[in-house]
């Protein structure tokens, strides 16, 4: 990779890994619905005004529907699932489960005819499934309703991310990364806005909470998505999506070092198994030809 690609890759790993820590603070201040809604609007509008200020042309020629679908899945569905689930199961568990997105993406790509399940990929899927069983089935803390709901919410988020990414790669080919990101975030915010009636902001946020929101939305959402789509164009989707593995490692370290989150030995093994399965699915195992990822 070129130096700029390496820099973008490392920045994505650190930003998305650390975003789980900020996510907890934003959810605590704004509620899990408010965290998603305000994050979407801040991210989308930040990119829109930057584009206008720098004279960047924006062309939403694909029509509103594809942006709405990506906004409902990759943005609203994924962020709602993570915002609801992360406080329940912790950053480490949530981040490890997020590493299953490539497996879900390949299954969806197979159904849509965008991917072909080879014996190697099937092996990777089976290994990854075993990892999920180990991770969810042998927690460090007792299994309760909150833990089950948290795991379900995270897996829902992963499914939404995988679906939206495949849809975007199919229906938004040729549309710029800025347009995709702006459209998806603004539609995602509009879709979650009515939910604030059912889950309102729990109190009056502090000034520092608005700072957390601005960093999470403006830096760790808006700019990272633009960087990621640029990385896909530069080094290919398969190599770019492998950043999820580094994100998992960063988030697990954040959870252990700063939040004191416990993980059982079996869960650590499960996380390693999930990463190994995804590496096989993505064709990142040495000696194998890389396959095209759907995200």
64: in domain:
yes
178 has a pLDDT exceeding 50: yes
Both structure tokens of 269 = 């093994």
Whole-number percent of the chain with pLDDT over 70: 87
The reported pLDDT for the residue numbered 289 is: 46
287 class by beta-carbon count within 10 Å (0-12 exposed, 13-18 middle, 19+ buried): exposed
Whole domain around residue 120: which residue ranges?
A: 3-281
Both structure tokens of 198 = 């059912």
pLDDT tens-digit readout, 240-259? 666 777 787 788 777 777 87
pLDDT tens-digit readout, 99-132? 788 778 778 877 887 667 677 777 877 787 787 7
294: in domain:
no
200: in domain:
yes
Each residue of 227-265: b (16+ CB within 10 Å) or e?
A: bbbbbbeebebbbbbbbbbbbbbbbbebbeeeeebebee
The answer to whether 290 touches 239, Cβ cutoff 8 Å, is yes
pLDDT tens-digit readout, 50-106? 999 999 888 888 889 999 999 999 899 999 999 999 999 888 788 888 878 877 877
The reported pLDDT for the residue numbered 167 is: 86
The reported pLDDT for the residue numbered 137 is: 65
CA separation for the pair 294, 184 (Å, rounded) = 17
238: in domain:
yes
8: in domain:
yes
Distance, C-alpha 149 to centroid of its chain: 18
Q: How many domains does the chain have?
A: 1
Question: Which one has a higher pLDDT value, 194 or 281?
Answer: 194
Within 10 angstroms of residue 143's Cβ, the number of other Cβ atoms is 12
pLDDT band at 239 (very low <50, low <70, confident <90, very high): low
C-alpha count within 13 angstroms, C-beta hemisphere, residue 200: 4
The reported pLDDT for the residue numbered 247 is: 80
Residues in the chain: 295
Q: Lowest mean pLDDT: which of 1-10, 25-34, 132-141?
A: 132-141
259: in domain:
yes
Residue 228: name the closest of 209, 213, 247 by CA.
247
96: in domain:
yes
Question: Which one has a higher pLDDT value, 218 or 276?
Answer: 218
170 has a pLDDT exceeding 50: yes
The answer to whether 180 touches 232, Cβ cutoff 8 Å, is no
CA separation for the pair 19, 71 (Å, rounded) = 19
52: in domain:
yes
């Amino acid at each position: 990779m070129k130096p700029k690609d390496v820099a973008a890759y490392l920045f994505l790993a650190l930003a998305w890994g650390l975003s789980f820590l900020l996510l907890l603070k934003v959810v605590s201040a704004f509620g899990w619905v408010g965290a998603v809604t305000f994050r979407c609007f801040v991210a989308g509008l930040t990119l829109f005004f930057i584009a206008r200020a720098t004279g960047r042309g924006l062309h939403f020629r694909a029509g509103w529907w594809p942006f709405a679908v990506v906004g409902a899945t990759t943005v609203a569905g994924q962020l709602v699932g993570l915002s609801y689930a992360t406080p329940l199961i912790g950053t480490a568990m949530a981040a490890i489960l997020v590493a299953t997105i490539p497996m879900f993406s390949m299954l969806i790509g197979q159904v849509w005819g965008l991917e072909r399940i080879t014996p190697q990929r099937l092996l990777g899927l089976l290994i990854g499934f075993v990892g999920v069983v180990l991770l969810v089935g042998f927690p460090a803390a007792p299994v309760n309703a909150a833990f089950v709901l948290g795991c379900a919410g995270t897996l829902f988020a992963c499914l939404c991310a995988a679906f939206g990414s495949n849809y975007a790669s199919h229906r938004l080919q040729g549309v710029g990364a800025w347009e995709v990101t702006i459209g998806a975030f603004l539609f995602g915010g509009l879709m979650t806005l009515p939910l604030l009636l059912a889950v309102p902001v729990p109190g009056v946020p502090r000034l520092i909470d608005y700072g957390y929101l601005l960093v999470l939305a403006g830096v760790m959402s808006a700019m990272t998505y633009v960087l990621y789509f640029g990385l896909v164009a530069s080094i290919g989707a398969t190599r770019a999506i492998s950043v999820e593995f580094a994100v998992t490692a960063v988030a697990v370290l954040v959870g252990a070092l700063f939040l004191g989150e416990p993980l059982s030995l079996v869960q650590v093994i499960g996380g390693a198994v999930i990463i190994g399965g995804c590496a096989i699915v993505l064709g990142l195992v040495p000696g194998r030809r890389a396959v095209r990822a759907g995200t």
